[in-house]
Amino acid sequence: MSLYGVMAAFADPQALLEAAHAMRARGYSRMDGFSPFQVEGLAEVLGARKSRLPLLVLAGAIAGAVLAYGLILYSVEVDYPVNVGGRPLHSWPAFVIIAFEAAILGAALAGFLGMLVANGLPRYYHPVFNAKSFTYAQGGKFFLLVEAADPKFRKGVTKGQLTRLGAETVEEVEA
């Protein structure tokens, strides 16, 4: 089997954050962190990009509102126009409420689907599941993964650096 990377386990979130800073300073760029809760500043150190999900949610809201308003307008003015008491066919105050609800629905659907795509879900397998120390039963550990695809990666050197940075365990992760 081929090597996916090297995973180091740390006892506390501060040790993980310091190790990630140190590895970034040494030139490593393909890293990932795993933690039982959010560690402030870890995403920035690991180079996580800013999410485009808010723009996708906005586009979903606009699309939902425009589609609903257009459907109502088509059905009232073109498909089945009914003149009741001389009122105008295009009575926008009544249409806005339904369009607003459709905007909320469109935003929610776009946000949900966008989150699934952005996270690569559904994902039934990831190479880190091969690491023996990366189990739910182990619990409470903070992990730093340095991928073998990183240009600075050298198996022995990288494992030594992570050990010197205070890792409790360092193990190879098979792909």
pLDDT in tens, 6-17: 999 999 999 999
Terminal CA-CA length for the chain: 7
Quickly state the pLDDT bin for 132 (edges 50, 70, 90).
confident
Residues 128 and 45 in one domain: yes
Residues 138 and 110 in one domain: no
Residues 62 and 74 in one domain: yes
Whether residue 98 contacts residue 138, with contact meaning beta carbons closer than 8 Å, is answered with no
Whether residue 114 contacts residue 11, with contact meaning beta carbons closer than 8 Å, is answered with no
Quickly state the pLDDT bin for 138 (edges 50, 70, 90).
low
Query: What is the percentage of the chain residues whose pLDDT exceeds 90?
Result: 71
- Cα separation values, 70 from 75, 77, 96, 105, Å: 8, 10, 11, 16
CA distance 45 to 85: 66
Specify the pLDDT at position 84: 82
- Flag whether pLDDT at 119 surpasses 90: no
Specify the pLDDT at position 125: 87
**Contacts (Cβ under 8 Å, ≥6 apart) of 146:** 5, 6, 7, 8, 23, 28, 30, 31, 153, 158, 162
Residues 108 and 165 in one domain: no
- Report, as an integer, the average pLDDT of 27-47: 92
Residues 58 and 113 in one domain: yes
As for how many domains the chain has, the answer is 2
What range defines the domain where residue 73 resides? 53-118
Residues 110 and 131 in one domain: no
- Report, as an integer, the average pLDDT of 135-156: 87
- Cα separation values, 43 from 46, 60, 86, 110, 164, Å: 5, 27, 61, 24, 22
Residues 59 and 142 in one domain: no
Residues 142 and 58 in one domain: no
Domain endpoint, select from 118, 140, 165:
118
Specify the pLDDT at position 133: 84
Q: Phi-psi region for residue 155, left (φ > 0), alpha (ψ -120 to 50) or beta?
A: alpha
- Report, as an integer, the average pLDDT of 79-86: 85
Residues 136 and 170 in one domain: yes
- Flag whether pLDDT at 120 surpasses 70: yes
- Report, as an integer, the average pLDDT of 96-104: 97
